[in-house]
A and B are shown apart, each in its own frame.
Chain A
Amino acid sequence: SQQGEEDPQALSIQEGENATMNCSYKTSINNLQWYRQNSGRGLVHLILIRSNEREKHSGRLRVTLDTSKKSSSLLITASRAADTASYFCATDGKWTGANNLFFGTGTRLTVIP
């Protein structure tokens, strides 16, 4: 399966601290995306990084991509209680024509006020 895998499965931090989540995947990709899901609700797109990019920023989010290690990380700086959610990485399949998006199992982040 091309499904990604997030690490850790769960993370609990104090408000104001930084949160780092990692994603590993198995096959070559064109793009990697990060999504956020509040409990039981639809996923919301956060950021997309292309395979030829190494780092991307969006507000308090910083994403890195290391294609040689087939891994990505999502850093949320100065976390807030409202950041409490599950975070998923999603990869397309470079050799499957990028028609499918494969999601990991997610990291559950809890930010304690």
Chain B
Amino acid sequence: EAQVTQNPRYLITVTGKKLTVTCSQNMNHEYMSWYRQDPGLGLRQIYYSMNVEVTDKGDVPEGYKVSRKEKRNFPLILESPSPNQTSLYFCASSLQAGVAEQYFGPGTRLTVT
């Protein structure tokens, strides 16, 4: 089954404790992206990747890192999480940017205390 998986689905952590949210897709998509969703603000793009080893900042990249060492994986790293990073995070992938539909993962609800 074609899908985007994220782990963990729920995470409660404390300020400053490094964490990684994994994202994997099995559709051989070139384009992958991370979004955060906050009430009243909609979805905002954090980082995206056009292909392996090619990543770029989205709208709200501060406090986040990503890597794309393999085509299927695109982990999101929070080196020192802060409470303002409490949010619902979505990973998405598509054949290519812009012109193709994006497939979304189920989301990761992160709470930073």
Residues of A within 8 A of B (CB): 1, 3, 30-31, 33, 35, 40-45, 48, 88, 90, 92, 97-106
Contact = CB atoms under 8 A, between A and B. Distances in A.
Contacts of B56: 99
Majority SS at the chain B contact face: strand
B106 A105 contact: no
Interface of B: 4, 33, 35, 40-45, 48, 50, 56, 58-59, 88, 90, 92, 97-99, 101-107, 109
B35 A48 contact: no
B98 A105 contact: no
A101 B101 contact: no
Given A98-B97, A99-B50, A103-B35, A88 B59 contact: no
B106 to A, nearest CB: 5
A99 B97 contact: yes
Given A1-B59, A99-B50, A31 B99 contact: yes
Given A1-B59, A42-B107, A101 B41 contact: no
A63 to B, nearest CB: 13
B40 A105 contact: yes
Contacts of A33: 101-102
Contacts of B109: 40
Contact of B104 (A44, A92, A104, A106): A44
B98 A31 contact: yes
